[in-house]
C-alpha cells in the first residue's frame, strides 16, 4: 500500500528454496498477479496493470526487462502457459464482431448512451453495469510473433481451466444456455485443440471448476458443488478418467467443504490452486474444517488425510512433482503470513520469507482463546475470545461482538487486522461461527437458510452469555456489536431485538428484504435461497427484515455503506438511517464514495482507514 498515491502495489520476488535468498525482480509502481513459470523454467509470465488494464508480461529468469506480450483493449482476465513454451493461452473480454487486434475505441467527446436492460443478470458488484454484447473468449498468443489466435466464439462467457501436459487438450468452462437469469451452472468440457471436438466432463446444476490434469494426462480432477442446498452446498473433489469417462468423488466421506472459505481483511488477491497433482497420481487440495484451512492429501484408491497442522490458515500453496515438499503461505491468529517450505512426510518446516518481521516486532498482539459452547438446538458452536492488549487481571473491560458476512463463510485461525485493532484499543473481542458458517457439517451450514434471525441469532447471543459467565473481566454493561454484509444484517436484527448493547456499527448491511430483492445484483435469487420467499410472499420477507423492528431500536447505531455497493446497495443503509432518524433514534450515516461491497478488504487505503476510525470512534463515544 502506498499512502501518498492512495493505491496498492504488488511486486515480483524470487525465493531460492535452498539458500532462502529473497530477490526483488520488479520495482515499478504496479500490481503484479498470477505469476507462472514456463515449463522449462527459463521464463516467468505475469499479469500487470502498469498500463491500466491487466496485460501479460514475460520476464527472462536470466535477467533483463519484462516484455509486454499483450495489448488487449479490456485487459487479460487469466492465462496459462502452453506446455511447449512457445505460446500463452489467455481469457479476455471481446465485443461481438471485434477481434483482439482491433484498435480501441476513443472515448473522447463520445456522447453518453442509454443502457437497455433485457436481462436480470445485468449488473455486478465491483463491475457495475455489465458490458453489452461483450463475452470472455479464449485465445492464445505466439510469443515469438506476438500473433493472437481466437479459439472460442459466440455469445457465451468461456473460462480456461487447464491444458494437458502433451499440449493436445484443454478443459474449459462455458454455459451456453440462451437465458441464464435463473441458470446457476458451469458445464466443464474437455476439448481437442486441433479438432475442437468437445467431451462433457460435467453438465450439472451447480458450479464446477479448478480443473487440473494429472501428470500423465490420464485423469482430470476438479472441484465443485451441486445445488442441493443452493449456495450452502459443500464443495467436493471429483476425478474424471479420460479413457473411460468414469468419475469418482474423492471427498464424499468428509463432511466439510473443499476450498478456502475464511474471511479476512489483509490477504488481498490471495489465490490458490483448487487441485495440485503429484507423481503417482496423488493430489492435494485445501479443506475448510473446524475453523482451519488445511492442505489435504488424496489418492485414487480413496485415501484422504490432512497434510498440514491445525490452528492455521493455508491461503496459498504448491507441491513439488514428487510430492516430497510443499511451498505454502501460512497465517494464524497472531501471524499475518509468510512463505514456508514443508517436508510432507515429516511435517518439518522452513520459513523462507520475513516480510512482516519488522512489523510484528513493533506490535503487541492479542492471541485468541478458542471456545466451544452450546447454541440453539443444543448444537456445538465454535468461536474465539480475545482479551484486550495490555490486559490486567482484576480489571473490567468492554467487549465487542464481531459477526462475519456470507453467511456461508467463516472466521478462521488466521490474522484479522480489524479484530487486533479493537483489542489494541482496549476492547475484548468475541467472534463466533454461528449456524450458516462453513468448515463444519453440511447440516450446520445449511441451517441458517429460511431461519435468518432465528437459530443464528440464538447462537451469537448464547456465545455472549457463555463468555460473560466464564470471564469476570468482561463488563456486561459495556458491550458493542458490529458486522458487515450478513453480519450487518445480523447487527441490525440484534439492535431491533435486544437492548443489551451500548453501541452498534452496521456495515454494508441488509435492512429490507423486499427492496433488496429488486436492487441487489443477486437479490432476485439469493433472497429466495436464503429467506425461502420471493415477491409473492411479502409478509415473510418483511418479517425477516430488520427495518420492520426499527421502532424497537434503542442502541446508538452507526451505519456504514459504500456508494457503489451492488451486492447490498446503499439504499439498504439509507432506508434504515432515515427511518431511525425520523423516529428520533441515535444514529449516524457514513457514505463511502468510489467503494463497493469489498471496501474493508480492497477499498482505497484512505477509505479503509476512515472506516476503521469511524468504527473505533463510535464505540469510544458510546461505550
**Three cell numbers, residue 175:** 454455459
CB neighbour list of residue 130: distance below 8 Å, 6 or more residues apart = 121, 122, 123, 124
**Three cell numbers, residue 86:** 512457445
Catalytic residue status for 485: yes
Helix and strand element counts for the chain (H, E): 11, 36
Can you tell me the distance from the alpha carbon of 266 to that of 526, in angstroms, rounded to the nearest whole number?
27
Confidence class of residue 4 from pLDDT cuts 50, 70 and 90? confident
Among 262, 485, 515, 600, the active-site one is 485
* β-bridge partners, 45: 36, 58
Of the candidates 154, 142, 133, the one whose C-alpha atom is nearest the C-alpha of residue 198 is 154
Task: Yes or no: say if 504 and 483 are a contact pair by the CB < 8 Å rule.
Answer: no
CB neighbour list of residue 106: distance below 8 Å, 6 or more residues apart = none
What would the mean pLDDT of 59-66 be, rounded to a whole number?
90
Lowest mean pLDDT among 25-29, 148-152, 210-214, 419-423: 25-29
Catalytic residue status for 282: no
User: What percent of the chain has pLDDT above 90?
Assistant: 94
User: What percent of the chain has pLDDT above 70?
Assistant: 99
What pTM was computed for the model?
0.96
Confidence class of residue 271 from pLDDT cuts 50, 70 and 90? confident
Report H helices in 178-266.
none
What would the mean pLDDT of 362-383 be, rounded to a whole number?
97
pLDDT of residue 102: 80
Q: What is the pLDDT of residues 49-59, one digit of tens each?
A: 998 899 999 99
Q: What is the pLDDT of residues 69-90, one digit of tens each?
A: 999 989 999 999 999 999 999 9
Query: What mean pLDDT is reported for the chain?
Result: 96
Instruction: List strand residue ranges (DSSP E) for 355-418, in order.
Output: 369-374, 380-386, 397-403
pLDDT of residue 3: 65
Lowest mean pLDDT among 2-6, 223-227, 236-240, 600-604: 2-6
Confidence class of residue 63 from pLDDT cuts 50, 70 and 90? confident
Peptide bond into 276 cis (omega under 30): no
Length of the chain: 623
Among 313, 408, 438, 597, the active-site one is 597
Of the candidates 583, 575, 574, 591, the one whose C-alpha atom is nearest the C-alpha of residue 554 is 583
Task: Yes or no: say if 386 and 418 are a contact pair by the CB < 8 Å rule.
Answer: no
| Domains along the sequence of the chain with CATH | 207-332+334-362 (2.120.10.30), 368-622 (3.40.50.1820)
Of the candidates 481, 477, 480, the one whose C-alpha atom is nearest the C-alpha of residue 491 is 481
pLDDT of residue 94: 96
Q: What is the pLDDT of residues 328-341, one digit of tens each?
A: 999 999 999 999 99
For CA atoms 131, 134, 138, 142, give the dihedral sign: negative
**Three cell numbers, residue 254:** 468428509
Is the pLDDT higher at 112 or at 386? Answer: 386
Q: Report long-range pairs for 13-21 (Cβ below 8 Å, ≥24 apart).
A: 13/353, 14/61, 15/339, 15/352, 15/353, 17/327, 17/341, 17/352, 20/350, 20/352
Task: Yes or no: say if 257 and 438 are a contact pair by the CB < 8 Å rule.
Answer: yes
Using the predicted structure, report yes or no on whether residue 103 has a pLDDT greater than 90: no
**Three cell numbers, residue 37:** 513459470
Amino acid at each position: 500500500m502506498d499512502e501518498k498515491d492512495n493505491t496498492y502495489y504488488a511486486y515480483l520476488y524470487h525465493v531460492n528454496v535452498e539458500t532462502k535468498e529473497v530477490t526483488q525482480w520488479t520495482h515499478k509502481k504496479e500490481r503484479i498477479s498470477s505469476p507462472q513459470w514456463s515449463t522449462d523454467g527459463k521464463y516467468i509470465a505475469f499479469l500487470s496493470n502498469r498500463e491500466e488494464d491487466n496485460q501479460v508480461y514475460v520476464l527472462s529468469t536470466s535477467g533483463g526487462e519484462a516484455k509486454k506480450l499483450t495489448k488487449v483493449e479490456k485487459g487479460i482476465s487469466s492465462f496459462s502457459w502452453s506446455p511447449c513454451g512457445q505460446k500463452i493461452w489467455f481469457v479476455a473480454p471481446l465485443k461481438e464482431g471485434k477481434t483482439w487486434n482491433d484498435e480501441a475505441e476513443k472515448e473522447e467527446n463520445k456522447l453518453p448512451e442509454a443502457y437497455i436492460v433485457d436481462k436480470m443478470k445485468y449488473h455486478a458488484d465491483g463491475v457495475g453495469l455489465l458490458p453489452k454484447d461483450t463475452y470472455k473468449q479464449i485465445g492464445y498468443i505466439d510469443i515469438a510473433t506476438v500473433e493472437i489466435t481466437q479459439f472460442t466464439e459466440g455469445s457465451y462467457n468461456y473460462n480456461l481451466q487447464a491444458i494437458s501436459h502433451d499440449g493436445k487438450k484443454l478443459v474449459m468452462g462455458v454455459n451456453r444456455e440462451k437465458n441464464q437469469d435463473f441458470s446457476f451452472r458451469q458445464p466443464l468440457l474437455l476439448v481437442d485443440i486441433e479438432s475442437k471436438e468437445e467431451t462433457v466432463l460435467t453438465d450439472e446444476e451447480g458450479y464446477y471448476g479448478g480443473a487440473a490434469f494429472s501428470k500423465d494426462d490420464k485423469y482430470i480432477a476438479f472441484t465443485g458443488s451441486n445445488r442441493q442446498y443452493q449456495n450452502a452446498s459443500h464443495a467436493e473433489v471429483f476425478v474424471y478418467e479420460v479413457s473411460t469417462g468414469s468419475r469418482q468423488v474423492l471427498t464424499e466421506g468428509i463432511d466439510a467443504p473443499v476450498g478456502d472459505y475464511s474471511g479476512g481483511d489483509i490477504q488481498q488477491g490471495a489465490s490458490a490452486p483448487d487441485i495440485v497433482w503429484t507423481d503417482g497420481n496423488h493430489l492435494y487440495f485445501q479443506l475448510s474444517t473446524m475453523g482451519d484451512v488445511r492442505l489435504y492429501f488424496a489418492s485414487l484408491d480413496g485415501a484422504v488425510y490432512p497434510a498440514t497442522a491445525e490452528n492455521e490458515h493455508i491461503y496459498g500453496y504448491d507441491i513439488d512433482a514428487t510430492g516430497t515438499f510443499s511451498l505454502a503461505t501460512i497465517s494464524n491468529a497472531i501471524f499475518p503470513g509468510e512463505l514456508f517450505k514443508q517436508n510432507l512426510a515429516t511435517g518439518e518446516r522452513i520459513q523462507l520469507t520475513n516480510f512482516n518481521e519488522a512489523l510484528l516486532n513493533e506490535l503487541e498482539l492479542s492471541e485468541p482463546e478458542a471456545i466451544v459452547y452450546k447454541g440453539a438446538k443444543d448444537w456445538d458452536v465454535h468461536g474465539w475470545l480475545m482479551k484486550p492488549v495490555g490486559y490486567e487481571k482484576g480489571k473490567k473491560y468492554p467487549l465487542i461482538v464481531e459477526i462475519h458476512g456470507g453467511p456461508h463463510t467463516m472466521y478462521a485461525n488466521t490474522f484479522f487486522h480489524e479484530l487486533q485493532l479493537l483489542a489494541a484499543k482496549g476492547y475484548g473481542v468475541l467472534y463466533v461461527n454461528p449456524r450458516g458458517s462453513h468448515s463444519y457439517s453440511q447440516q450446520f451450514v445449511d441451517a441458517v437458510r429460511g431461519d435468518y434471525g432465528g437459530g443464528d441469532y440464538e447462537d451469537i447471543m448464547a456465545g455472549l452469555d457463555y463468555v460473560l459467565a466464564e470471564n469476570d473481566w468482561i463488563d456486561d454493561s459495556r458491550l458493542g456489536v458490529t458486522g458487515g454484509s450478513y453480519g450487518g444484517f445480523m447487527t441490525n436484527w440484534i439492535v431491533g431485538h435486544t437492548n443489551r448493547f451500548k453501541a452498534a456499527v452496521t456495515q454494508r448491511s441488509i435492512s429490507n428484504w423486499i427492496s433488496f430483492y429488486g436492487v441487489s445484483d443477486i437479490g432476485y435469487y439469493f433472497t429466495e435461497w436464503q429467506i425461502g420467499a420471493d415477491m409473492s410472499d411479502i409478509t415473510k420477507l418483511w418479517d425477516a427484515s430488520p427495518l420492520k423492528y426499527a421502532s424497537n431500536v434503542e442502541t446508538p447505531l452507526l451505519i456504514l455503506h459504500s456508494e457503489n455497493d451492488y451486492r447490498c446497495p446503499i439504499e439498504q443503509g439509507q432506508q434504515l438511517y432515515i427511518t431511525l432518524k425520523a423516529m428520533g433514534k441515535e444514529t449516524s450515516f457514513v457514505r463511502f464514495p468510489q467503494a463497493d461491497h469489498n471496501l474493508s478488504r480492497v477499498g482505497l487505503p484512505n477509505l479503509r482507514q476512515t472506516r476503521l476510525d469511524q468504527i473505533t470512534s463510535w464505540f469510544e463515544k458510546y461505550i
